[in-house]
Structure 1
Amino acid sequence: MTDGQLARSTHAHRPALHFTAPKNWMNDPNGLIQWGSEFHLFYQHNPHAPEWARPYWGHAVSDDLHSWRDLPIALEPDSEFDRAGCYSGCCVDDDGIPTIIYTGVVAEEGREGLVERVLSATSTDGLVTWVKSPTPLIAGPPDEIDAVGFRDPFVWRDADGTWHLILGCGSRTRGGMVLHYVSRDLRSWEYRGVLLEQSDIADTALVAATVWECPQLVRLGGRDIVIVSVLTSAPSHVVMIEGELRGDRFIPSAADRMDGGSSFYAPHVTRLADGRWAALGWLQESTSRDPSDWAGTLSLPRELLMSDGVVVQRPLHEFARLRGTRTDALMPVAPGQPATPLISHAAPFEVRIRGPVQARHQLSIGTPQGVVVLPGLDGPGAPHDDRPLDVTIVVDRFITEVFSEGRPVMTTRADGRSTAGHPLELGTTGDGFAVLVSWWPLTPA
């Protein structure tokens, strides 16, 4: 939580555990990076009003990815190539020099729409102040793409020292795609072609879009995974695409939503010093529903890992330090009966529900934001027939995140930002069974 939040953490509408800017609008997380023992988070930010406008890069720092301290704004839209906004990007370590690589946007006379370029900035004072490069790294998309979007660079370095840059794009004739560039010095970039496009995916409805945004690439358990944010009208969502990076092309083998809820979008990932992959996403909203002075929040930091051949997402283990005293109870869940109430509590809390392998049916979880239905363990998308029920639910005022081993996370937020205590309930369409329920109150660090 930021310094700005400390004085307002009891505000009726502000979440207590999820990151928000100290004031006014925020959306996409950017440039998440571990630098020494600290974690730096940047984000799309309008410091002037609780609504979207040409973005700045806000900045916060943490020792644990849960307790945040605000730092000065990192980037302002004040240069020749970013006057209309400093859009999303990443932050990398260039042999000890922290380097932001981002999208600069301008409106230019005689050119249709906004012009997007890849820009950079560096810091020499511990990531606090940033000096922009006077020239773009990449001046624009290749002509043959007929692009309608060209933004959100994500950069990594291979063991041989080669830098790779991918960014989101859209083609008027081909739809969403990811472009690929390489460099030896992080300054001069060579275009290597389309890494991946929507026609490569068997389930085209899952990924169809005018533009793919915020592409990321992670390697889990020996597999390559591309994450893309699919920009659509209602609502935009995130897809994880498993496959293999072969030279300059990504060969997909499977694709699924990263989050099954309606809120999670534009995640940013980073590899921590201990080898874990951490991700944060924006919980979408169109404008402020609070007349005070803020809008926008991020998901909890989540770990991405491969378990028994299945991509798993769960809260980082640092989350455990927010827990209070644990309470356990064995509770029955009966079909055709009223849902079993678990907990009704206005303050943030966590619930873990564990059940038997033979619970092969749909489990419905009533939350403050509505009912979340988990498919039966032998139904579509089931990870393994012998995987027991293990669900973790975090409720933070108007936000609920449901983590279930081997299934997409379900993240929801209530538009009305209600803060009243709501019962968390369980119901089933299958055979009756009992679950072990563990409950913790949660306190901001």
Structure 2
Amino acid sequence: MTHLEALAKAEQYQSKMAKIAKKSYWKPQYHISAPANWINDPNGFCYFNGEYHVFYQYHPYSSQWGPMHWGHVASKDLVNWKTKPIALAPTDEYDKDGCFSGSAIEKDNTLYLFYTGHVVLDKENDKDDAQLQTQCVAISEDGISFKKLENNPIINIDSFPEDLNILKEHFRDPKVWKYNDMYYKVVGAQTTEKTGQALIYKSKDLLNWEFVNVMAMSTEEENLGFMWECPNFAEIDNYEVLILSPQGVEPEGNKFLNLHQSGYFLGKMDYNTGIFERENDFEMLDYGFDFYAPQIMQDEKNNRCLMIGWLAMWESEMPEQEEGWAGMMSIPRVLEVKNNKVYSLPIPELKKLRKNNVNYDVNLVQNCILEGINGDCYELNTVFDLTKANGFNLKLRVSENEETVISYDKNSKIFKLNRDKSGKGVTGEREVKVNLQDEKISLQIFSDYSSLEIFINGGEYVISSRIYPTQEATGIVFEPMGEIKAKIDFYEI
């Protein structure tokens, strides 16, 4: 089957399944999701031909993971996204079992998609070592139809020195950027010693790549996992940042509790040696249940660094699979560095979605419901002054027997999200230690039909999670522990 035939077949099946998926109450209103079926990592986040583009790992034939295609959406404003034709399908010898994750960059009015070709060498053997991963490219002049390069793969496993001990089956997720007159590409890898590495390549033309060095690596002594997925090199407010999604990091207190993690190192990039010198410990980008494989783009038009992530986690419950779809993206976030820490803020463009504002400037002294503050799709902004209080519970998506509870305890400084009663299939708690600012804590909360994203103290911490309440769960209850001076700003979306 040709690539065009495979894409047409996938589109046809997607259309059929979309009729089922669109009936699902949990399908997001303002987050990116596919018309139907399974999605995971965001890919190819870029700006091209007057639009922002996000591609994503996609299995168009089922709501379970399967041979990866690249789905595609585009937007002029990062808020209203339109589904575009499926961009890549696994049809060639070098990618026949999946067009895995990658990135995009524009050169000479042409859009280049860099992706990992995935091949299972032995179908009878489901072990990792029966697989092969290489780096490939597809190009487009209109940003819609992509042609794979005839001489793919452009980077093979013989591209790096043998003594690096890189496994052929764990060499993936190329992220490309330009620095001066040279293009650079970082690729995630695993060694035979089961440690993660980020390998860096350079090219003048995006087609011929030369291995430079191991850009960064973990050691067996460090708790940094056995494989570094989805590496991104970011420039944020004159800081250089390496963003990673390591697999196999062990829990440490309230950190690293998900199956896999997403986080970052601040550091310094030496382009002469190709080495990124880490300057801090690995820090998390999101403390919730569901945020993985983020990808950044340098939004040069607005002089900022944007990030979007997969709002899910491997091996988590996904009740929406029964309704013909699985997975969604986070809202796009602006990254900033303050106090040697990466902050994540919702993009200001999301203000376009605001409707029917209700606001209160009020003293909360007992459990209460505030008139006009309820719903399932909304933005809720609060500033709580806890000078005369020990903390609070804020209950969201409340019905007779459902609630998603966020809470803060002033003595322990622990901020929690509890989803034991958040609906179908999900339970558990996540927490982060938060210092008050002048006795105050500020929250910016984005609720969609089956997700919550909570930005704490101007994006110092974020907690993102999927939840699966019923349509009746629209209540919001404020429970102060003492007297709270509260500023509350609510918008329907």
TM-score range, shorter chain: 0.7 to 0.9
CA distance in 2, matches of 1:331, 1:231: 45
Change (3 A) 1:244 1:341: farther
Residue type of the alignment partner of 1:62: S
2:162 matches 1:143: yes
Which residue in 2 is equivalent to 1:370? 404
Query: 1:313-324 to 2 correspondence within 5 Å?
Result: 313-324=344-355
Q: Is the 8 A contact 2:389 2:480 kept in 1?
A: no
Residue type of the alignment partner of 2:56: Y
Q: Provide Cα deviations, 1:224-267, integer angstroms capped at 9, x if missing partner.
A: 11111122494212112112213422222223110000100011
Q: Is the 8 A contact 2:378 2:490 kept in 1?
A: yes
CA distance in 2, matches of 1:311, 1:318: 20
Gaps of 5+ in 1: none
CA distance in 2, matches of 1:200, 1:288: 33
Residue type of the alignment partner of 1:436: K
Q: Is the 8 A contact 1:359 1:377 kept in 2?
A: no
Query: 1:24-423 to 2 correspondence within 5 Å?
Result: 24-108=37-121, 112-140=129-157, 142-148=161-167, 149-159=170-180, 161-173=181-193, 175-199=195-219, 204-205=222-223, 208-232=224-248, 234-247=258-271, 248-254=274-280, 255-272=282-299, 273-284=301-312, 286=315, 289-290=319-320, 291-307=322-338, 310-333=341-364, 338=367, 340-341=368-369, 345-356=374-385, 364-368=393-397, 370-373=404-407, 385-386=437-438, 388-404=440-456, 405-414=458-467, 416=468, 418-423=470-475
Q: Is the 8 A contact 1:345 1:421 kept in 2?
A: no
CA distance in 2, matches of 1:375, 1:246: 43
CA RMSD of aligned residues (A): 3.1
**Shift, 1:125, TM fit:** 2.9
Comparing 316-325 with 267-276, which one deviates more in the overlay? 267-276
Gaps of 5+ in 2: 1-13, 250-257, 398-402, 414-431
Q: Is the 8 A contact 1:377 1:387 kept in 2?
A: no
Q: Is the 8 A contact 1:367 1:400 kept in 2?
A: no
Q: Provide Cα deviations, 1:172-216, integer angstroms capped at 9, x if missing partner.
A: 315122111112222222222221123399xx44xx322111011
CA distance in 2, matches of 1:262, 1:393: 15
What secondary structure is seen at the aligned counterpart in 2 of 1:320?
Answer: helix
Q: Is the 8 A contact 1:377 1:385 kept in 2?
A: no
What secondary structure is seen at the aligned counterpart in 1 of 2:219?
Answer: helix
Which residue in 1 is equivalent to 2:484? 433
Larger helix percent: 2
Q: Provide Cα deviations, 1:79-138, integer angstroms capped at 9, x if missing partner.
A: 121001000000001232210111001123699321000111111233333333423221
Residue type of the alignment partner of 1:270: M
Comparing 55-64 with 110-119, which one deviates more in the overlay? 110-119
Q: Provide Cα deviations, 1:397-430, integer angstroms capped at 9, x if missing partner.
A: 221000122522100112x45333243344566x
CA distance in 1, matches of 2:469, 2:64: 16
CA distance in 2, matches of 1:419, 1:360: 33
**Shift, 1:351, TM fit:** 0.5
Change (3 A) 1:84 1:425: same
Q: Is the 8 A contact 2:387 2:439 kept in 1?
A: no
CA distance in 2, matches of 1:124, 1:433: 57
What secondary structure is seen at the aligned counterpart in 2 of 1:262?
Answer: coil
**Shift, 1:28, TM fit:** 0.8
Change (3 A) 1:267 1:387: farther
**Shift, 1:360, TM fit:** 9.2
Residue type of the alignment partner of 2:294: P
What secondary structure is seen at the aligned counterpart in 1 of 2:85?
Answer: strand
**Shift, 1:36, TM fit:** 3.0
Q: Is the 8 A contact 2:38 2:62 kept in 1?
A: yes
Provide the identity percentage: 25
Q: Is the 8 A contact 2:184 2:201 kept in 1?
A: yes
CA distance in 2, matches of 1:33, 1:139: 25
Comparing 350-359 with 86-95, which one deviates more in the overlay? 350-359
What TM-score results when the alignment is normalised by the length of structure 1?
0.87
Change (3 A) 1:329 1:216: same
Change (3 A) 1:130 1:386: farther
Q: Is the 8 A contact 2:236 2:304 kept in 1?
A: no
CA distance in 1, matches of 2:100, 2:408: 36
CA distance in 1, matches of 2:22, 2:229: 32
Comparing 4-13 with 80-89, which one deviates more in the overlay? 4-13
